[in-house]
Amino acid sequence: MKSIYGWGLPVEASTYAKDVDFGIRLIHAAMFTIFILWAIFFVYLLVRYRRREGVPAKRDPEHHGIFSASLIPDLIVMLFEIALIFFYAIPVWSRIKGHAPDVPPANRIDVVAEQFAWNIHYPGADGKFGRTEMDKIHFSNPLGLDYSDPAAKDDIVLANELHLPTGRPTLIRLTSLDVIHSFWIPSFRIKQDIVPGMAIPLWVEPDRPGTYELSCAQLCGFAHSLMRATVIVQTPEDYAKWLKSAAPSVAAASTNTGQSW
């Protein structure tokens, strides 16, 4: 664990992490350069034009209107920003947020956030999510899965444990039972608020097997800072194996009717 988190950006573990990091690094290099050049100029001015006996201040040439020499550095900043917008931000943003991948081949799961847990809902072998109903919600059935629905029989619901395969994108449908939460995996460079009443799609393709962390990034109540989950990224083979082992047996599922016992 120690190696993937440190004082800098965490390890890059998704296909678009590199694109996000490129921007972060580029902008920080530019900011650093601008600030250093600027600071040198600033200190020079303070020393050069400090008050000295018998040296009066020299006025700039008379000048009116809204254009002045100060707009020249502005122009440079503006060109840099225009380049960032059109060659970086808009193309990368539309790749990450614009197009959801097709299912299949993409993997498909649901994430249902609540105070203060992450419920991960896998459709199981049939690839279909079971119907959920609010009045069936119970601590043994946190999503209110309706087990009379055949599609629900093989569904897997896990709390605070998210398994993802490498090699293909996963399309995640984000919903919340109560308040706004935010789905945030630093190593994947992905963050998306989850708004109750909305189902928000999000895709991610992890490319580095390992164990990562899912945190809630939007204030969601008194235990907000304890709301986290473990993200386990597996190779396609390991993921398939895990899915098989996690699938409920039909017998077990049929007894789990959501009734209190």
Partner 1 sequence: MVDTHAHPPQGFIQKYVFSQDHKIIALQYLITAWIFLLIGFVFIMVMRWSLAFPGTPIPWIGRFLPADLAPNGVISGQFYNSLCAMHGTIMVFLGVVPLGVGAFGNYLLPLQIGAPDMAFPRLNMLSYWVYLAGGLLMLGSFILPGGAAQSGWTSYPPLAIINPGQTVWLFGMVLLITSSLLGAINFIVTTLNLRAPGMHLMRMPIFVWSELVAAFLLLLAFPPLEGAAIMQLMDRIAHTSFYVPKDLVVLGMMHKASGGGQPLLWQHLFWFLAHPEVYVLLLPPMGIVAEIIANNTRKPLHGYGTIVASMLSIGAMSFIVWAHHMFVSGMSATLSNFFLVTTMIISVPSVAILTCLIFSLMGGSIRFTTPMLFALAFLPMFGIGGLTGLPLGLTVTDIYLHDTYYVIGHFHYVVVTGSIIALMGGTYHWFPKWFGRRMNDALGRFHFWGTLICMNCVFFPMFILGLAGQNRRYYDPTAHLHDLPTQPLHVLSSVAAWLLFLVQLPFIYNFFHSIWRGEKSEENPWKATTLEWACPSPPPHGNFTETPLVWRGPYEYSPEGLKTDWLPQNADPRSLEAA
Interaction with partner 1 in 151-180: which residues (CB under 8 A)? 177-180
Q: Does 28 bind partner 1 (CB under 8 A)?
A: yes
Q: Does 36 bind partner 1 (CB under 8 A)?
A: no
Distance CA 184, CA 217 (A): 6
**Phi and psi at residue 26, to the nearest 5°:** -60, -50
Q: Does 260 bind partner 1 (CB under 8 A)?
A: no
Residues 185-204 close enough to bind partner 1 by CB under 8 A = 186-187, 189-198, 200
Q: Residue 66 or 250: which CB sits closer to partner 1?
A: 66
User: Could you say which of 37, 40, 81, 125 contacts partner 1 (CB under 8 A)?
Assistant: 81
Q: Does 55 bind partner 1 (CB under 8 A)?
A: yes
Rg (C-alpha) for the chain, rounded Å, is 26
**Residue 111: closest CA among 129, 97, 126:** 129
Q: Residue 34 or 156: which CB sits closer to partner 1?
A: 34
- Intra-chain end-to-end CA distance of the chain, in Å: 40
User: Could you say which of 13, 96, 162, 172 contacts partner 1 (CB under 8 A)?
Assistant: 96
User: Could you say which of 40, 87, 97, 148 contacts partner 1 (CB under 8 A)?
Assistant: 97
Q: Does 87 bind partner 1 (CB under 8 A)?
A: no
Distance CA 127, CA 34 (A): 53
Distance CA 87, CA 81 (A): 10
Q: Residue 50 or 244: which CB sits closer to partner 1?
A: 50
Amino acid 178 reads D
H-type helices in 150-235, by residue range? none
Q: Residue 156 or 179: which CB sits closer to partner 1?
A: 179
15's CB contacts (< 8 A; 6+ apart) are 169, 205, 206, 207
Residues 207-246 close enough to bind partner 1 by CB under 8 A = 213, 215-226, 228
